[in-house]
């Protein structure tokens, strides 16, 4: 699919991956429809896209609400006449042991991360099947492939996103809709405001699990998937190595990743329990990290990757030696 001239709907467009994707596709000539809960942040992205020369529309949307997602699709079609690409990116997170995760918070996360993707996919398919073409990109995660401690809710939701893509792709093939595609993108840790906005019940500040990539890296992967659709795309070489190792040695990698995450994911800084941005604005400034990056990148991100791979290799050697 050509990006130039395409109409693209992006959820979670106010910061991080969504904002980076909107900026990139706007520069490439797409008309972008921006969706997120915060109108002020959306308006910033809207101005950025228009400065890039793109047509753009901002529609404040809570993807957990089916009527809001239907309204988003309707507004896109009213404004631009069609929907060529739909990027399901909006997501929230919880850092907590599973037994300490409040069930109401778990339901809210699943409403956003799973039902939001399902509702977005349905809304997009209604138009794409009539058009005879289109690309849906669901932003999953490496954690949808390799679940880790303290992220049971988030890992579960991202696994569900991948499963939805597999099922819908099969149904589209059976229906002969060969020009309608559903693709999953699996990023590792990304430098976004997510880590400051996440709900947290573990008592220590969350930090990204190395390796840490910029959101532009994910945006470029999304653009590549739009141009040449494929079932799944893992972001970054370290992410691809982790997925490959997990598929070859699942039990081993789960143990290695579990130990690694327990050491790398939580800082020593104590914080009180918080629902973060699960239910709305967490009270952070509108432009934390420029509303774009989390400004979390460190010189140790390559060392973190090396540590992970070295640990996996050492464990594998020990296992083979037994």
Catalytic residue among 150, 154, 195, 201: 154
Residue 270: Cβ-neighbour burial (10 angstroms; 0-12, 13-18, 19+): exposed
Do residues 264 and 209 touch, judged by C-beta distance below 8 A?
Answer: yes
**Residues composing the chain:** 322
Partner residues linked to 185 by β-bridges? 139, 233
Do residues 88 and 138 touch, judged by C-beta distance below 8 A?
Answer: yes
Query: Which residue has tokens 């990304």?
Result: 190
Query: Which residue has tokens 């906005």?
Result: 197
Q: Is 260 a catalytic residue?
A: no
What is d(CA 263, CA 288) in angstroms, rounded to the nearest whole number? 26
Handedness of CA 79, 85, 87, 88 (dihedral sign): positive
The alpha helices in the chain, defined as continuous H runs, are 16-27, 39-51, 66-80, 103-110, 116-131, 152-174, 194-197, 215-227, 237-248, 250-264, 301-321
What is d(CA 43, CA 63) in angstroms, rounded to the nearest whole number? 18
Q: Which residues are catalytic?
A: 154
């Amino acid at each position: 699919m050509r990006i130039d001239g395409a109409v693209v709907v992006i959820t979670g467009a106010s910061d991080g991956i969504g904002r980076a994707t909107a900026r990139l596709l706007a520069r490439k000539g797409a008309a972008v429809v921006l969706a997120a809960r915060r109108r002020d942040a959306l308006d910033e992205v809207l101005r950025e896209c228009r400065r890039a020369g793109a047509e753009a529309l901002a529609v404040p949307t809570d993807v957990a609400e089916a009527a809001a997602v239907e309204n988003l699709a309707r507004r896109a079609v009213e404004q631009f006449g069609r929907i060529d690409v739909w990027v399901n990116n909006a997501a929230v997170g919880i850092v907590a042991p599973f037994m300490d995760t409040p069930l109401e918070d778990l339901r809210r996360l699943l409403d956003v991360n799973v039902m939001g993707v399902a509702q977005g996919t349905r809304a997009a398919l209604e138009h794409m099947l009539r058009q005879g073409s289109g690309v849906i990109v669901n932003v999953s995660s490496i954690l949808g492939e390799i679940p880790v401690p303290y992220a049971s809710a988030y890992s579960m939701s991202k696994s569900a996103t991948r499963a939805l893509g597999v099922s819908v792709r099969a149904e589209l093939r059976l229906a002969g809709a060969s020009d309608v595609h559903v693709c999953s993108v699996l990023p590792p840790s990304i430098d976004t405001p997510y880590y400051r906005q996440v709900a947290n019940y573990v008592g220590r500040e969350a930090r990204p699990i190395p390796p840490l990539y910029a959101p532009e890296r994910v945006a470029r992967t999304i653009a590549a998937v739009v141009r040449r659709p494929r079932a799944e795309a893992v972001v970054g070489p370290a992410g691809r190595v982790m997925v490959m190792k997990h598929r070859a040695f699942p039990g081993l990698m789960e143990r290695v990743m579990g130990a690694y995450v327990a050491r790398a994911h939580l800082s020593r800084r104590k914080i009180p329990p918080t629902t973060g941005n699960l239910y709305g604005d967490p009270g952070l400034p509108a432009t934390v990290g420029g509303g774009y990056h989390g400004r979390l990148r460190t010189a140790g991100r390559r060392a973190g990757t090396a540590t992970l791979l070295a640990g996996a290799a050492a464990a594998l050697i020990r296992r083979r030696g037994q």
